[in-house]
Amino acid sequence: MPPKRKADAESTPLRRSTRTRSQAAPEPEPESQSTPTKKARTAQTTAEQPAPKKAAASRSRASAGPSTEAGPSTQSPATATTKKSAAKPKTSKKGKGRAVTTKKEEEEEEEPEASQDAAAPSAASSTTAVPAPPAAAAAPQAETDDADRGYWLLKAEPESRFENGVDVRFSIDDLAACTAPEPWDGIRNYAARNNLRKMKKGDLAFFYHSNTKEPGIVGTMTIVQEHSPDLTAHDPKTAYYDPNAAADAAAGKDPKWSVVHVQFRSKFAHPITLRDLRAMGGPGQPLESMQMLKQTRLSVSRVSAAEWKHLMGVAKAT
């Protein structure tokens, strides 16, 4: 049923008001007196004869502004709910005296987030999306065979001994205290130098305490920088000054000696002593072919992958 027009909704109460006024005051009002407003007429009519509540509500809405509503019977509950929501805009709870945000402004504030989500398709588009599994942690370095990795044994003296007025003492604890890669300098043997030059970044090496009461392997270290010229051979103030190497350098020849840089890796709870190494180096034993046992005075020697694995097992078991 189409809604009633405003004139139809108000015609009946207005005719009642006219009849009532004509009976109560037949004399016409003076021309100088202004015509009563709709509000005054409504009040007078209400005083003389009670008007229906629905008609009064219609007249109140008519005085506030034009409307197409004729009453509750002309609209559905859904329409009334929609208009009620539109009449009361949503506000943000920011506290008394602060600016409020209308529903339209709130939607405009949310638009940048929507555009950002559209620009990043990798983000989850729904709450039911299964999150991606976390990246697997890097596996620790395994003490196993590695075709690309070399293993070595380097000797140093943990007790004081002077060369050219310089103390050459250097222990596993000294290496652990270093805050930067340590140069393994002072090598003046060609076989040991050649082994230094074969080392690659990432190779592992045993730290061996030599020239002490109980020599043996005390820990491990990592080769962090491959070979470079050992400039200590050219300096007369260093422990292992080599005048021939200094002369070659002055003549523009290639450097004779080399150095690698190492970094502390671990210290064994109990050293693997030289006595233990010899016991494992007998015929048919795991260290039968170990270079360090064959060339006892060699300060830099190669270790096979099988020998490394065996010795690391011994270190963990003790």
pLDDT of residue 318: 81
pLDDT of residue 49: 52
Cα dihedral sign, 138-141-145-149: positive
DSSP for 251-280, written as a single string = TTPPPS-EEEEEEEEEEEEEEEEHHHHHHT
pLDDT of residue 21: 46
Give the residue from 283, 282, 284, 280 showing the smallest Cα distance to 309: 280
pLDDT of residue 148: 86
Q: How confident is the model at residue 210 (pLDDT cuts 50, 70, 90)?
A: very high
pLDDT tens track for 86-142:
444 444 433 433 334 344 444 444 444 433 343 343 433 344 444 444 434 333 344
SS3 helix, strand, coil % of the chain, rounded to 5?
40, 15, 45
Give the residue from 206, 200, 207, 208 showing the smallest Cα distance to 224: 200
DSSP state letter for 234: G
Domains by residue range for the chain, with CATH: 1-23+35-71 (no CATH), 151-317 (3.10.590.10)
Question: How many Å apart are CA 241 and CA 253, to the nearest integer?
Answer: 17
pLDDT of residue 105: 41
Give the residue from 152, 148, 155 showing the smallest Cα distance to 302: 152
Question: How many Å apart are CA 70 and CA 58, to the nearest integer?
Answer: 7
Q: Position 35: which residue type?
A: T
Whether the model clears a pTM of 0.85, i.e. scores above it, the answer is no
- 10 Å CB burial of residue 230 (0-12, 13-18, 19+) is buried
Question: How many Å apart are CA 159 and CA 209, to the nearest integer?
Answer: 9
pLDDT tens track for 61-88:
444 444 444 444 445 444 444 444 444 4
Q: How confident is the model at residue 302 (pLDDT cuts 50, 70, 90)?
A: very high
Mean pLDDT of the chain: 73
pLDDT tens track for 135-164:
343 333 444 446 789 999 999 999 999 999
